[in-house]
Amino acid sequence: MGIIYTVSLATADARAWLLEQGIECSDRASRWPTGNELKYAVECFRGIQVQYNDNGVGYCWQALLSNGEAGTEEVWAALNVEKHQGYDQTNDFWFDKGTTELNVAIALVLSAKTGPLVLLADCGGPPLVVDYPNTTQQTLDEWVDVSKPLWIQLYRDVQRSCGFAA
């Protein structure tokens, strides 16, 4: 069994709840990404292949990511949209299991465009607010080992895709 990662917007209610948990969140506006932004985010990681299950507007849409490299640590993600609104419209999404580092990295890329996003793992633990470039490595270290080579590579791809030197 894997972890399901729910993604939420940083609404006023969510920010109040986060504050009660002792978690800071920037005042930037928060919105869902467009379908095009979702595609950009999942396609920006070097060595990661993406397969789409696109059933059309109003139906399920999914991006399946995998490094597919034998002999290396398996890295994968399943990003899901229940009712795809189209590539130019906003879409709420969640991660169905997958490698935590890749899920967090995808959310970071998206947050550069959408504003803060809140990740919640169904196994419990504190939520993670991702808001690139405002999220610190110290904050990320609560969910991922920021000294791990996998994370370092993914974070460089995040920086590159968001227009920062990597």
Per domain, the residue ranges of the chain are 4-161
Residue 2's pLDDT band (cuts 50, 70, 90) = confident
Which tens digits make up the pLDDT trace of 110-138?
Answer: 999 999 999 999 998 899 999 999 988 88
- pLDDT (mean) for 95-117: 96
Q: Can you tell me the distance from the alpha carbon of 21 to that of 145, in angstroms, rounded to the nearest whole number?
A: 22
Provide the sign of the torsion angle of the four alpha carbons 150, 152, 157, 162, taken in this order.
Answer: positive
Does residue 84 have a pLDDT over 60? Answer: yes
Which tens digits make up the pLDDT trace of 53-73?
Answer: 999 898 999 999 999 765 567
Please list the helix, strand and coil fractions of the chain in percent, rounded to the nearest 5, in that order.
30, 20, 50
pTM beyond cutoff 0.85:
yes
Does residue 104 have a pLDDT over 80? Answer: yes
Q: Which of 64, 63, 77, 73 is nearest to 105 (CA)?
A: 77
Angle subtended at Cα 4 by Cα 83 and Cα 122, rounded to the nearest 5 degrees:
120
